[in-house]
Amino acid sequence: MPEFNYIASARRTIEMERDAVHSLLERLDQHFNAACAALMACTGRVVVTGMGKSGHIGKKIAATLASTGTPAFFVHPGEASHGDMGMITRQDVVIALSNSGNTAEVVTLLPLLKRLGIPLISITGNPESIMARAALANLHTGVEQEACPLNLAPTSSTTTALVMGDALAIALLEARGFSAEDFAFSHPGGTLGRRLLLLVDDIMHSGESMPLVTPDTSLRDALLEMTRKGLGLTGITDEQGLLAGIFTDGDLRRTLDQSIDIRTAGIAEVMTRKCKTVQQGILAAEAIKVMEDGKISGLFVVDAQHRPVGALNMHDLLRAGVV
């Protein structure tokens, strides 16, 4: 048998789905505006439902809405007929997906939604279907042919439904003025969430973990303090407890280049007096910028009076997932 051309098959699938998605541009009309208006006016939550592959797409749409400022969740239509209908309230809006628009499990819910006065938005491939006619807005996502050569497996039709769901979510996001900070609160465990929510206070070394010495400390003893605390630096505080300077691994290398005797030198002779610091309560991401701009790998966190309250280095930020 001749070797099958996998790449040619993949190209055909991608091209067909690309063309199907492109056709959605011509279908954005008053129905899309009406759907967005209903979702913006919703005082409850958006309930997404669908069977089979449409259900899988519906779950993703619900997740996208929820993470971009529109509270949403997915309800299986079969389960809704057996008790889960109680999850839907009069304040909600329902988005129902079905390529045919006549899926029995979803159609069964229509009289109940009408009775409760719950707005219905349908995403279907048939604008003349039962669901489309019952909806206040029908988003037409039908395709001439599935990418499946048998025209059976939902492929192009599920892609267009997914893209239409994304279009809804992003239109609502922009209309609400949803910000990166808002997104971070929905994704506290993600990289963006850590960058926008994590404060230096959350990761700095404070109390006994903070390396500090006084100006009359010998360089030798200051190095021992650095070794004990393991941050590659130590702060030097004056009689009022204010940060007078800093000494780092880099300062030690420069000190050795100057042929200074580390056994007899005092820390006050070799410390860096005008050192970079950050205020407590700032974002960890801001501390990264201070380090990058100053080409340093560690710094002290100070309070309003310039007293050291913590210390951190780049390794702390890496472990916290901020970098």
- Give pLDDT tens digits for 288-315: 888 888 888 889 999 999 999 999 988 8
Q: Three-state SS across the chain? A: CCCCCHHHHHHHHHHHHHHHHHHHHHHCCHHHHHHHHHHHHCCCCEEEEECHHHHHHHHHHHHHHHHCCCCEEECCHHHHCCCHHHHCCCCCEEEEEECCCCCHHHHCCHHHHHHHCCCEEEEECCCCCHHHHHCCEEEECCCCCCCCCCCCCCCHHHHHHHHHHHHHHHHHHHHHCCCHHHHHHHCCCCHHHHHHHCEHHHHCECHHHCCEECCCCEHHHHHHHHHHHCCCEEEEECCCCCEEEEEEHHHHHHHHHCCCCCCCCEHHHHCECCCCEEECCCEHHHHHHHHHHHCCCEEEEECCCCCEEEEEEHHHHHHCCCC
Parallel, antiparallel or unpaired: strands 120-124 and 137-140: parallel
Q: How far is CA 211 from the centre of its chain?
A: 35
Tell me, what's the pLDDT at 119?
96
Tell me, what's the pLDDT at 193?
56
Are 95 and 121 within 8 A, CB to CB?
A: yes
Q: Work out the pLDDT band at 177, boundaries 50, 70, 90.
A: confident
Mean pLDDT of 257-279: 86
Task: Tell me the residue type at 246.
Answer: I
| Domain covering 6-178, topology | Rossmann fold (3.40.50)
Are 72 and 46 within 8 A, CB to CB?
A: yes
Tell me, what's the pLDDT at 182?
60
Write out the residue limits of the CATH 3.10.580.10 domain(s) in the chain: 200-319
Q: Which range among 152-161, 255-264, 269-278 has the greatest average pLDDT?
A: 152-161
Are 94 and 120 within 8 A, CB to CB?
A: yes
The token pair at 273 is 């007096």
Q: Work out the pLDDT band at 233, boundaries 50, 70, 90.
A: very high
Are 172 and 36 within 8 A, CB to CB?
A: yes
Task: Please state the pTM of the whole predicted model.
Answer: 0.66
Mean pLDDT of 165-188: 78
Name which residue leads in pLDDT, 152 or 34: 34
Residue 63 has pLDDT above 90, yes or no: yes
Computed over every residue of the chain, the mean pLDDT equals 89
Residue 254 has pLDDT above 90, yes or no: no
Mean pLDDT of 17-42: 96
Mean pLDDT of 173-179: 84
| Terminal C-alpha separation, the chain | 52
Tell me, what's the pLDDT at 288?
85
Residue 190 has pLDDT above 80, yes or no: no
Q: What is the dihedral of CA 37, 41, 45, 49, to 10 degrees?
A: -30
Neighbours of 114 (CB within 10 A): 11
CATH superfamily label, 200-319:
CBS-domain (3.10.580.10)
Tell me, what's the pLDDT at 181?
62
Q: Which range among 76-85, 115-124, 193-202, 284-293 has the greatest average pLDDT?
A: 115-124
Tell me, what's the pLDDT at 261?
78
How far lies 176's CA from each of 36, 37, 93, 121, in Å? Answer: 11, 12, 17, 20
Residue 57 has pLDDT above 70, yes or no: yes
Mean pLDDT of 179-195: 58
Tell me, what's the pLDDT at 264?
83
Parallel, antiparallel or unpaired: strands 233-237 and 212-213: parallel
Write out the residue limits of the CATH 3.40.50.10490 domain(s) in the chain: 6-178
Tell me, what's the pLDDT at 76?
95
Tell me, what's the pLDDT at 302?
92
Task: Tell me the residue type at 236.
Answer: I
How far lies 40's CA from each of 65, 270, 289, in Å? Answer: 12, 62, 38
Q: What are the b/e assignments for 249-285, b being 16+ CB within 10 Å?
A: eebbeebeeeeeeeeebebbebbbeebbbbebeebbb
Mean pLDDT of 198-226: 90
Q: Work out the pLDDT band at 188, boundaries 50, 70, 90.
A: low
Tell me, what's the pLDDT at 198?
79
Total residues belonging to the chain: 323
Mean pLDDT of 179-207: 69
Lowest model confidence (mean pLDDT) among 56-60, 193-197, 246-250: 193-197
Name which residue leads in pLDDT, 232 or 98: 98
Tell me, what's the pLDDT at 263?
78
Q: Which range among 186-200, 227-241, 260-274 has the greatest average pLDDT?
A: 227-241
